[in-house]
Amino acid sequence: MVTDVAYRGPFLLTVNLKGNLDSQQNVTVKSAVEGSTTIISIIPEGTWVEEGDVVCVLDGSQLDDQAKQQEIVVANVSASEVSAKEAFDVQKLQNESDISLAKTALLLAELDLTKYKEGEYKKLLSELEGNLAIAKEEALQAKESHEFNKRQVKKGFVQQNELESSRILVQQKELAVDKATEERKVLVEFDKVRTLAELESNAAELERELDRVVLKAKAAAIQAEQEHLAAQKSAVLEREKHEKLVAQVTNCTLLAPQAGEVVYANLSRRGRGGGDGPAIEEGASVQERQDIFNLPDVSQMKINARVHESLIGNLKLGLPAKVHVDARHDESYRGQVAHISSVPMSGSWPNYDLREYEVEINLTDAESKVRTLKPGLTAQVEVFVDSRDDVLQVPMQSVVGIVGKYYTWVLTSDGPQRRELKIGQSNDSNVEIMDGVAERESVILNPRTNFAEEIAELTTQLGAESTQNDADAAVIPEGASALPGAGGPSAATGSPDGQRKKRGGGDVGEMFAKLDADKDGKLSGDEIPAQMQSNLSDIDGDSDGAISKAELTKAMKRLRAAGAGGPSRGAGG
C-alpha cells in the first residue's frame, strides 16, 4: 500500500482559467453599413497602419446607385418646396389685398351713411323748408294783391280781368305751398327712412363681407402654409435619405481611427454547431455592427477568460495571477484580476444550461516584455485565490467521494481503517481536512486499488439509500413516516427509531413495483414522483413520456457512478 502522512502546512488555493490575449485599449472598427454587405478588400492582418489609412473596403455599389436615384428625388422635392413657398407668399399678399379692399368698401359705406345723415339729408330738408317758406310768402303776397285788386275794382280803378289774374295767381301760389309741403313730407317721412335703411344695410353687409374675407384669407393662408410645410418636411426627409445613403457609401470605406497593427475580429465567433463563425476575409459577408478589425495597443495587454459559475465565488478583483502563453511556453507573466462580470453569459447549443462569467486579467509586467505578445494568443491563467500557513491536509489521491460523502483509509497498527471525512477547500494536489483524520496519521493513496470491493459495496449501499430517500420524499405525503413495504414500519428493524434496513440492488425493483399503481409495467402520469418529473428527459430514454423498469435501473446506475466521484476539483483515489 502506498501511503502518505496527513500534515499541517501552507495551503495554496488557485483557480485555473483559459483565455485569449487582447489589448486593454483596443479600438474596434465595426461595419456601419445597414443590412448585409461584402468585403471587397482588406489589408493583410498584422499590417501596421497610420491614422486615416484605408484598411477595409465594403461593397457599396448598390448604395451608390440608390444615392444617385435619391439625388433626383431630392431635386424634385426641392423644386416643390420652392413652389409651395412662393404660393404661400402669393397667398399672403392676396389676402392682404382682399382684406384691404373689403375694409375700404366698408369705410366708404360708413362714410356714405354719415354723409347722408349729417349732410345730404339736412341740405335737402333745408332747401325744401326754404321753398315752402317762399311759397307761403308768395301765396300771402298774392292774396294781399288780390284783395287790393278787389277794392280797386269796386272803385273802378282796376279792370275785371286784372282781378281774375290776381285770383289765378293766388291759386297758383297756394298750390305751390301745397307742393312744397308735400315735398318736405316725402323727404322726412319716406326718402330719409328708405335711404338710411339702404345705407345702413349696405354698411352692415360690407362689414360681414369683411369678416368673410378675413376668414377666407385665414383659411387660404393656413392651407398654403400647410402645403409649404408638407413640401418642406418632404424635402427634409428626402434630403436625410440622401445624406444617409451618402454616409452609407462613405461607411463602405473603413479607415484606421488610430495607428496600430491590424488584427481581424475573428475571435469568439462561434456558430450554432460550435464551429468557427464567419471569418473576416475578402468576399466574406458581414452584418451591420459586426466587428471587422481591431487596432490594439500592444503595450497594455489582458487575458479575456471565462470561469464556471461554481468557481466564481473564489474570485475577486485584485487577486494576483500567473500567466503562461502557449506560444511562449518558456516564459511566464504576472497578472491581476481586473474585471469580473456581474451576470453570466448564456450557454450556447448544445450546452444551453452552461453558465460562465467573463473575467479579465491584466498583465502587469514591464512594457518591453508585454510588447512581445500578440492579441489572439491562447493563455493559461492560474489565479491565486487563498494562501494559508497552517492547514491540515492530505493528498487528493487518498480521498474517495461516494454519493456526496467523502472517505479515506488510514493505516493503523490494527490495519487499514475507513474514516468518513469532513473536508474544506481543495486545490490541484491536496484536500483540506476539517474532521476525520489527525495530523501525522498515514493515509493510503491508492484506496480504489486496495479496497475496490469495499468501495463498490459502499457505493451500492449509499446509492440505494439515497434513491430510496428521494423516492420516499417524492411520494410520501407530508406528515407520513413511510409507505408500507417501502422502508416504512413493516420494513423497520424493530428498533425504537424505526431505522430502515440496508438494501441492495433489489430496491429499484421494489420501488418500481410500489410506484406502478396500474401494474402496466411503466410509470406514467401521476405515478411519476415530482422529483423524477423534473428529470424525466434524462430518465426517459425512448422519449415516450413514461419510465420503464429498465430505464429506471439505468438511471440509478448513472446516479451511483456519479456519486462515486471524488471531492470538488477532482479529488479521488
Q: Is 550 inside any structural domain?
A: yes
pLDDT of 475 over the 60 cut: no
Q: What's the confidence (pLDDT) of residue 481?
A: 34
Q: What's the confidence (pLDDT) of residue 287?
A: 92
β-strand 328-340 against 320-325: which pairing, if any? antiparallel
What is the Cα–Cα distance from 17 to 358, expressed in whole angstroms? 11
How sure is the predictor about 533, in pLDDT bands with cuts at 50, 70 and 90? low
Considering only residues 528 and 433, tell me which one the structure prediction assigns the higher pLDDT: 433
What is the Cα–Cα distance from 360 to 16, expressed in whole angstroms? 13
Q: What's the confidence (pLDDT) of residue 247?
A: 94
Q: What's the confidence (pLDDT) of residue 278?
A: 56
| Same domain, residue pair 373 and 434 | yes
Lowest pLDDT segment from 133-142, 408-417, 534-543: 534-543
CATH of the domain at 138: 1.10.287
Considering only residues 98 and 528, tell me which one the structure prediction assigns the higher pLDDT: 98
Q: What's the confidence (pLDDT) of residue 498?
A: 36
Q: Is 274 inside any structural domain?
A: no
Helices (H), 252-392: 367-370
Mean pLDDT of the region 479-499? 34
| Same domain, residue pair 126 and 20 | no
Q: What's the confidence (pLDDT) of residue 494?
A: 35
Under 8 Å between Cβ of 317 and 339: yes
| Same domain, residue pair 80 and 227 | yes
Q: What's the confidence (pLDDT) of residue 472?
A: 57
What is the Cα–Cα distance from 30 to 293, expressed in whole angstroms? 7
Lowest pLDDT segment from 31-45, 310-324, 378-392, 462-476: 462-476
How sure is the predictor about 478, in pLDDT bands with cuts at 50, 70 and 90? very low
Residue 517 burial (CB < 10 Å; 0-12/13-18/19+)? exposed
Q: What's the confidence (pLDDT) of residue 304?
A: 93
CATH of the domain at 482: 1.10.238
Boundary-marking domain end, from 391, 422, 444: 444
pLDDT of 37 over the 90 cut: yes
Considering only residues 222 and 462, tell me which one the structure prediction assigns the higher pLDDT: 222
At 386, is the secondary structure helix, strand, or coil? strand
Cell of residue 209, nine digits = 363681407
| Same domain, residue pair 87 and 70 | yes
Lowest pLDDT segment from 62-76, 176-190, 325-339, 459-473: 459-473
Tell if the pTM clears 0.75, that is, is over it.
no
| Same domain, residue pair 396 and 483 | no
Mean pLDDT of the region 372-387? 88
Cell of residue 139, nine digits = 301765396
Cell of residue 518, nine digits = 396500474
Boundary-marking domain end, from 417, 444, 471: 444
Q: Is 272 inside any structural domain?
A: no
> Quick one: which of 314, 336, 305 has its CA closest to 568?
314
How sure is the predictor about 548, in pLDDT bands with cuts at 50, 70 and 90? confident
- Angle of helix 452-475 relative to helix 506-515, nearest 10 degrees, comes to 10
| Same domain, residue pair 305 and 432 | yes
270: DSSP letter: B
Which tens digits make up the pLDDT trace of 88-97? Answer: 999 999 999 9
| Same domain, residue pair 258 and 182 | no
pLDDT of 488 over the 60 cut: no
At 260, is the secondary structure helix, strand, or coil? strand
Mean pLDDT of the region 21-40? 90
Q: Is 481 inside any structural domain?
A: yes
Count CB atoms within 10 A of the CB of residue 150.
Answer: 13
What is the Cα–Cα distance from 221 to 89, expressed in whole angstroms? 9
What is the Cα–Cα distance from 392 to 434, expressed in whole angstroms? 8
Q: What's the confidence (pLDDT) of residue 276?
A: 47
pLDDT of 495 over the 50 cut: no
Considering only residues 467 and 238, tell me which one the structure prediction assigns the higher pLDDT: 238
What is the Cα–Cα distance from 236 to 76, expressed in whole angstroms? 12
Considering only residues 486 and 31, tell me which one the structure prediction assigns the higher pLDDT: 31
Q: What's the confidence (pLDDT) of residue 539?
A: 82
The contacts of residue 251 (CB under 8 Å, 6+ apart) are 31, 32, 33, 58, 60
Cα torsion through 316, 320, 324, 325, rounded to 10: 70
Q: The cell 450556447 sits on which residue?
A: 348
Q: What's the confidence (pLDDT) of residue 147?
A: 86
| Same domain, residue pair 108 and 168 | yes
Q: Is 209 inside any structural domain?
A: yes
| Same domain, residue pair 91 and 220 | yes
Is the preceding peptide bond at 484 cis, omega within 30 degrees of 0? Answer: no
pLDDT of 497 over the 60 cut: no
How sure is the predictor about 562, in pLDDT bands with cuts at 50, 70 and 90? low
Q: What's the confidence (pLDDT) of residue 167?
A: 87
3-state SS, 167-226, equals: HHHHHHHHHHHHHHHHHHHHHHHHHHHHHHHHHHHHHHHHHHHHHHHHHHHHHHHHHHHH
Q: What's the confidence (pLDDT) of residue 272?
A: 38
Q: What's the confidence (pLDDT) of residue 468?
A: 67
Count CB atoms within 10 A of the CB of residue 424.
Answer: 16
| Same domain, residue pair 38 and 81 | no
Question: Which contacts (CB < 8 Å, 24+ apart) does range 55-58 have?
Answer: 55/29, 55/254, 55/255, 55/256, 55/262, 55/293, 56/29, 56/253, 56/254, 56/292, 56/293, 57/252, 57/253, 57/254, 58/31, 58/33, 58/251, 58/252, 58/253, 58/254, 58/286
Name the average pLDDT for the chain.
83
Largest distance between two CA atoms of the chain: 203
Amino acid at 511: M
Q: What's the confidence (pLDDT) of residue 7?
A: 94
Q: Give me the count of residues in the chain.
A: 573
For 284, the domain range is 32-59+254-266+279-293
pLDDT of 233 over the 70 cut: yes
Which tens digits make up the pLDDT trace of 422-462? Answer: 998 887 788 999 999 999 999 999 898 889 889 988 888 88
| Same domain, residue pair 341 and 489 | no
Count CB atoms within 10 A of the CB of residue 203.
Answer: 20
Q: Is 271 inside any structural domain?
A: no
| Same domain, residue pair 187 and 314 | no
> Quick one: which of 77, 90, 19, 11 has its CA closest to 381?
19
What is the Cα–Cα distance from 366 to 546, expressed in whole angstroms? 63
Q: The cell 479579465 sits on which residue?
A: 360
CATH of the domain at 288: 2.40.50.100
Give the CA distances from residue 159 to residues 167, 237, 291, in Å, rounded to whole numbers and listed in that order: 13, 112, 142
Q: What's the confidence (pLDDT) of residue 529?
A: 75
The contacts of residue 352 (CB under 8 Å, 6+ apart) are 346
How sure is the predictor about 348, in pLDDT bands with cuts at 50, 70 and 90? low
Q: What's the confidence (pLDDT) of residue 314?
A: 83
Q: Is 39 inside any structural domain?
A: yes
pLDDT of 268 over the 60 cut: no
Considering only residues 272 and 143, tell me which one the structure prediction assigns the higher pLDDT: 143
pLDDT of 168 over the 50 cut: yes
Mean pLDDT of the region 488-496? 34
pLDDT of 214 over the 90 cut: yes
Cell of residue 176, nine digits = 305751390
Lowest pLDDT segment from 15-24, 66-75, 524-533: 524-533
3-state SS, 71-138, equals: HHHHHHHHHHHHHHHHHHHHHHHHHHHHHHHHHHHHHHHHHHHHHHHHHHHHHHHHHHHHHHHHHHHH
Boundary-marking domain end, from 444, 463, 495: 444
Please tell me the total count of domains within the chain.
4
Q: Is 212 inside any structural domain?
A: yes
What is the Cα–Cα distance from 359 to 376, expressed in whole angstroms? 16
> Quick one: which of 138, 131, 127 has its CA closest to 172?
138
